[in-house]
Amino acid sequence: MDIGALELIARTALAIAIGAVIGIEREYKRKVEKEVLIFGVRTSILISVLGLICSQLAESVGEGSSLIIGLTIVAIVSTTAFILRFLEYRYMGLTTYILAFIIYLLGFMAGRGIYKLTIALAIIVVAILALKSEFHNMISGLNKEELIQAIKFGIIAFVILPFLPNDYVDPFHIFNPFRFWSIVVAVSFIGFIFFLILRKVKRGQFFLLGIIGGFVNSEVATYEISRLAKWQIVDEAIAGVLFSCFSMCLNQWILLLLVTGAPVPLVYIVVPTIFLGILVEILAYPGLLSLREHEISIKSPFSFRQALLFAGIFLLSTFMIGIANHFRLIVEGAAPYHFSGYAYLMYGVTFLCSLLAASPVVCSIASLFVAEKLGAKMATQLLLLAILGGIINKLFWCRISESKEYVRKLSRDLVILASALFIFLFTLSIYFP
């Protein structure tokens, strides 16, 4: 298929840009970090252009043959350079050697006009190369138990996931095993990312533990802060728990976008989230006046046991809310916002499950919304109720503290937060039934 001159120029420019960007990163490693590499900017550009040229030969010799011709040339040149480098420096690093093939393939893809995927892969490759030391530090910071748990979870999640049926398996059309486990994997991965950020900080204030720990697991963050509050400043510990409530609320935004892929019903909780953030700032103000450094301690959420716990609550709440909603629609003739006994049952189930953990309940509601089992406004009411339960369950976790003053003050602030959210929920139910 013939392409126009402008299209050819665009593909050539992309191939050269990819080679240049990756080559610049390699030159930086060579000159600044003194790594022994087998090629730099010019060679990187030439390899990418070779991929471009071979892609244009596809019309004459066939796509497969042209691809193999270029790979053979890259293999001969790179292997020769790799052997000469080893003989002179006794250096066995394979990154740049493998990178030569990647650059060639990216150039070939650019020559075939696969723009979006080529650019995305090039960005990922450069990021991996540039963050080499960060990846090493992150891995070295994991202890043996965390590494074993992560491996177990990875095997179970990514080996089993492709074989799960991507269809509803229950008569109520509520449970889709593939979608269900995909959400479990994604949520656990998000929690792990925030956990690594927390590990990177190593030392910090209670409010930092609250903010980041709230994204990992707000219940665990509250437990850790309450455990330490017996010998630390009370107001500062309270600020940490309050901020964990706010970051828990923000985490629900991530989950909603992850599951629904749309801003609805996210737009309905913007106002209560902003109001909750302002209220948290006011209540936590005394603790923010005297911040100190403390050891941060929180367990990794990236384990099979944690995944099963999340999955169990997720599955339980999805079925109970979904079945109650199914019978509600039958009884009410599919009137989506009319109150009935089944509607109140949905609210009760949502609230009780969220007392264990809010995140899996939010995922359940979002899944039902995506499956068109819930309207946007009813889903919003259930979401706010789940967040309300996530705040109230902190009243139980904080009682492990030996400081009566801490428990008393924090309980008062949590009741204020919960009351404000309940008033908003009640107002929403009246004016937007």
In this structure, the chain runs to a length of 433
Name the stretches of the chain with pLDDT < 70: 1-3, 32-38, 91-93, 132-150, 152-153, 156-157, 190-205, 230-232, 261-267, 290-307, 332-341, 429-433
As beta bridge partners, residue 204 has 294
- Check if the beta carbon of residue 166 is closer than 8 Å to that of residue 61: no
Q: What is the DSSP letter of 393?
A: T
Structure tokens, 324: 């109650």
Instruction: Tell me what pLDDT residue 415 has.
Output: 93
Full DSSP string of 281-332: HHHHHHHHTS---EE-----S-SHHHHHHHHHHHHHHHHHHHHHHHHHHHHH
Interhelix angle for 115-130 vs 95-111, to 10°?
160
Sequence-ordered alpha helix ranges (H) in 90-176: 95-111, 115-130, 132-141, 144-160
Q: Are strands 294-295 and 203-204 parallel, antiparallel or unpaired?
A: antiparallel
Count other Cβ atoms within 10 Å, centred on residue 91.
Answer: 13
**Who's near 284: CB < 8 A, 6+ residues apart?**
207, 238, 239, 242, 243
Q: How far is CA 426 from the centre of its chain?
A: 32
**Who's near 72: CB < 8 A, 6+ residues apart?**
none
Instruction: Tell me what pLDDT residue 306 has.
Output: 66
Instruction: Tell me what pLDDT residue 336 has.
Output: 47
Domain chopping of the chain, boundaries? 5-130, 143-431
Instruction: Tell me what pLDDT residue 337 has.
Output: 46
Interhelix angle for 41-56 vs 63-89, to 10°?
160
- Check if the beta carbon of residue 273 is closer than 8 Å to that of residue 320: no
Count other Cβ atoms within 10 Å, centred on residue 270.
Answer: 11
- Check if the beta carbon of residue 364 is closer than 8 Å to that of residue 325: no
What distance in Å separates the CA atoms of residue 409 and residue 237, rounded to the nearest whole number?
Answer: 11
- Check if the beta carbon of residue 192 is closer than 8 Å to that of residue 300: yes
